[in-house]
């Protein structure tokens, strides 16, 4: 009987701990959902239910322009990062184990480097080269951490890649380009999509590195929201968060299914 009570106690303590963690993580998200339907123009003061935040959202040209800039920067940075990260993962396979380990550490170093150090070093680097700061410098800055994340995702996929498939395609008469495009890339496609979505989400969310490497007027969505928060969080800002959260959730579900499909195929 004592063992049964102990087992029940451990089980309920585990469930309670999980509940506390989930509430801590998602209660602020739930509150943002609720306050997106606030009738007040000041999002932190509840005055009643209204969908005015969603109707006024389409009138916020600054937010939509900033979102467009974030999507453009994220799309370019994600594509370049995934391409570079994949090539790095493929290239490191030919290195000797010790050199490969060093190369992996160098490529993964931005993952553990504080953003403030990356942001400051990039700002100084661009200033030393006298590069005009703008969307171009922001894309380059996002590629610095984007390549690292893309490499981590693609390294696992490349590690599981069967090299004999490439050789078999060549033996069957395919050119190296055809073997790469018709054999290797389709196998890596799920991981490529996951890596792209991962880097895109990080780029869309980045504030500090973007803030210190952007030029005048090159405002992304986090920077625009930060500027508007001086006057309080408006319901339309919360409404935009809800829209983006739903899109992000859909992307995460798609990425999860792609990864699951890749593991099943392997």
Contact partners, residue 57, CB within 8 Å, separation at least 6: 63, 236, 239, 240, 243
**Domain residue limits, the chain:** 62-265
Residue 131 predicted with pLDDT over 90:
no
Report the candidate in 65, 58, 54 with the shortest Cα–Cα distance to residue 242.
Answer: 54
Confidence grade of residue 2 (pLDDT, cut at 50, 70, 90):
low
> Which pLDDT score is estimated for 157?
84
> Which pLDDT score is estimated for 259?
62
Residue 128 predicted with pLDDT over 60:
yes
Ordered alpha helix ranges (H), the chain: 2-35, 52-57, 61-92, 97-112, 115-128, 135-159, 163-171, 176-179, 185-205, 208-213, 221-228, 235-265
Within a 13 Å sphere around the CA of 123, how many CA atoms are in the beta-carbon half?
14
Q: What Å distances lie between residue 107 and 94, 163, 176, 185, 222, CA to CA?
A: 16, 23, 27, 22, 27
Strand partners, 38: 49
Do residues 126 and 209 touch, judged by C-beta distance below 8 A?
Answer: no
Q: What Å distances lie between residue 68 and 22, 45, 73, 135, 218, CA to CA?
A: 32, 29, 9, 12, 11
> Which letter does DSSP use for residue 231 in this model?
G
pLDDT in tens, 220-266: 888 888 887 776 777 788 888 888 888 877 877 776 776 665 554 44
The average pLDDT across 147-164 equals: 85
Residue 54 predicted with pLDDT over 70:
yes
Look up residue 239 and give its two tokens.
């409404």
The average pLDDT across 171-200 equals: 83
Residue 161 predicted with pLDDT over 80:
no
> Which pLDDT score is estimated for 149?
93
CATH number of the domain at 62-265, out of 1.10.3720.10, 3.40.50.720, 1.10.443.10, 3.40.190.10? 1.10.3720.10
Considering the entire predicted model, what is its pTM? 0.80
The average pLDDT across 118-131 equals: 90
CA angle, 48 then 53 then 56, to 5°: 140
pLDDT in tens, 75-115: 999 999 999 999 998 888 878 888 888 888 888 888 888 88
- The percent of residues above 70 in pLDDT, for the chain, comes to 93
To which residue do tokens 């570079």 refer?
84
Alpha-carbon distance of 255 to 90, in angstroms, equals 22
Confidence grade of residue 56 (pLDDT, cut at 50, 70, 90):
confident
Crossing angle of helices 135-159 and 115-128, in 10° steps, is 130
Mean pLDDT value across the chain: 83
């Amino acid at each position: 009987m004592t063992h049964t009570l102990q087992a029940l106690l451990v089980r309920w303590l585990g469930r309670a701990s999980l509940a506390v963690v989930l509430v801590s993580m998602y209660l602020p998200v739930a509150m943002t959902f609720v306050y997106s339907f606030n009738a007040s123009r000041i999002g932190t003061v509840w005055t009643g239910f209204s969908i005015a935040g969603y109707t006024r959202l389409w009138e916020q040209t600054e937010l939509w322009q900033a979102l467009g800039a974030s999507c453009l920067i994220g799309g370019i940075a994600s594509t370049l990062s995934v391409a570079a990260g994949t090539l790095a993962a493929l290239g490191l396979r030919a290195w000797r184990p010790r050199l490969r380990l060093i190369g992996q550490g160098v490529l993964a170093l931005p993952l553990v480097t504080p953003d403030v150090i990356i942001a400051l070093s990039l700002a100084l680097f661009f200033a030393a080269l006298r590069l005009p700061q703008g969307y171009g410098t922001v894309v380059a800055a996002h590629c610095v951490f984007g390549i690292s994340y893309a490499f981590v995702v693609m390294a696992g996929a490349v590690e599981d890649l069967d090299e004999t498939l490439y050789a078999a395609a060549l033996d069957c008469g395919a050119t190296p380009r055809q073997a790469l495009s018709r054999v290797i890339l389709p196998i890596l496609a799920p991981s490529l999509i996951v890596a792209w979505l991962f880097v895109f989400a990080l780029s869309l969310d980045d504030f500090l590195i973007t803030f210190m490497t952007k030029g005048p007027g090159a405002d992304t969505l986090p920077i625009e929201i930060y500027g508007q928060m001086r006057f309080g969080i408006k319901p339309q800002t919360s409404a935009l968060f809800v829209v983006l959260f739903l899109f992000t959730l859909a992307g995460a579900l798609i990425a999860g299914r792609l990864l699951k499909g890749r593991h099943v195929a392997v």
